[in-house]
Amino acid sequence: MKKRLIPYVVIVAILAALFILVIRPAGDAKKVTRTEFLMDTIVESLIYTKDSKLGDEALTYAYREISRLEKFLDRHISGSDVTKINQAAGREQVLVSVDAMEVIIRSLEVGELSGGAFDITIAPLIKLWGFGTGDTQIPGEAELSEALDLVDYRQVQVDREAGTVFLQHAGVELDLGGIAKGFIIDKAVEVLRDKGITSAYFDAGGDIRVLGDKPDGTPWRIGIRHPRDRRDIAAIVEIRDSAIVTSGDYERYFQVNDERYHHIIDPQTGMPARGLISVTVVAADAFTADAYSTAVFVLGLEQGIALVESLPGVEAILITEDEQVHITSGLAIQITEDEQVHITAISKGW
Ligand code: AMP
Ligand code: MG
């Protein structure tokens, strides 16, 4: 009996050593957090690092990158690249930053792939509805059709070599609101990665990008807000090293006679897109997730799912007006005992 005990003791000792080696480093990771108001929203971040001074410094650089990029991409900031492009519409080419060039080129690609559902020349319609001004209104037919004539992403002429952008007609205007946050948090996370950070969470008002896993090796668990009850969570999604972005009709809207008018506009009709009330996209990067969450919202359930299924590495969670949750084929839903909807990837790395 005594003899047989020895191997067990050895095994326990080896396991204990392994436990210390594998688990302890995670236990050593310190949590460094920061919250700032940028891009018209609350930007929250959290990183795990053994060196909290390095973590703090990395976050400073990441937030600095956000402020830098915001100044190029916001059409409300005078002197931004987007403002300059809009002001020169129909007149001249504008030399822009490499970052603005990158966002515009990538956005036009999404415009093509979504059949124009995603359109960065949406500004005349957004302005007409008054979103972002605090003075919203239902537009009249004549002004709606006038604005609709100006919305067409094919009016954006890009000269990559020269580094210039030109809007072919006066009155055409860019609005990167459907994409800028995603693009910017990708860049912020790249800064963290360059500084040696391997575990991080970045949330810009619901546009989320995570780096690596949590220190204990488990994925990040992200709650998707219930579109009709802000205190409730519609689903929990587990992701690692990727991005998750939600577009919802509850983010910016006004109501007239019980009808909700929100900020995601169908470029075909000039009206708020109907059918879906929340679209969450999971992708490797936040640019993709942000662009397609808006595009899918406009396309609606069937066409939206078809588009996502055609894109490798992209999945979506769609909530319809009747509050039903739909998922694309690379995801699995599990309802836990406490009736929580749990969504995990089945076919993708994340
Ligand atoms: P998101 O919350 O990412 O879906 O972005 C919504 C924002 O995108 C709006 O506030 C507008 O600035 C812009 N937007 C609205 N409709 C569209 C559209 N069809 N294509 C591209 N951008 C849009
Ligand atoms: Mg978006």
Extract the tokens encoding 263.
């900020």
The domain of 82 spans: 75-167
Count of domains in the chain?
2
Average pLDDT over residues 135-156: 97
Average pLDDT of the residues of the chain: 93
User: Residue of the nearest CA to atom 13 in ligand 1?
Assistant: 178
The CATH number linked to 116 is 1.10.3980.10
Same domain, 336 and 221: yes
Establish if 13 belongs to a structural domain: yes
Domain end marker among 104, 132, 167:
167
CB 96 within 8 A of CB 85: yes
Same domain, 231 and 344: yes
Same domain, 9 and 86: no
Establish if 107 belongs to a structural domain: yes
Whether ligand 1 lies within 6 angstroms of the CB of 175 is answered as yes
Determine which helix (DSSP H) or strand (DSSP E) holds 328, and give its type and residue range.
none
pLDDT at 1: 45
Establish if 70 belongs to a structural domain: no
Does residue 19 register a pLDDT over 70?
no
The pTM of the full predicted model, rounded to 2 decimals, is: 0.91
Establish if 207 belongs to a structural domain: no
Domain end marker among 167, 200, 227:
167
Query: Mutation test of ligand 1: which of 107, 252, 294 has the most ligand atoms closer than 8 Å to its C-beta?
Result: 294
**Rounded Cα gap, residues 209 and 183, in angstroms:** 10
Phi then psi dihedrals of residue 98, to 5 deg: -60, -30
The CATH number linked to 286 is 3.10.520.10
pLDDT band at 262 (very low <50, low <70, confident <90, very high): very high
Does residue 4 register a pLDDT over 70?
no
pLDDT at 339: 86
Domain end marker among 167, 182, 202:
167
Same domain, 160 and 253: no
Rounded to the nearest 10 degrees, how much is the dihedral formed by the CA atoms of 305, 311, 314, 319? -10
SS3 of 30, please? Answer: strand
pLDDT at 11: 67
Query: Mutation test of ligand 1: which of 127, 175, 261 has the most ligand atoms closer than 8 Å to its C-beta?
Result: 175
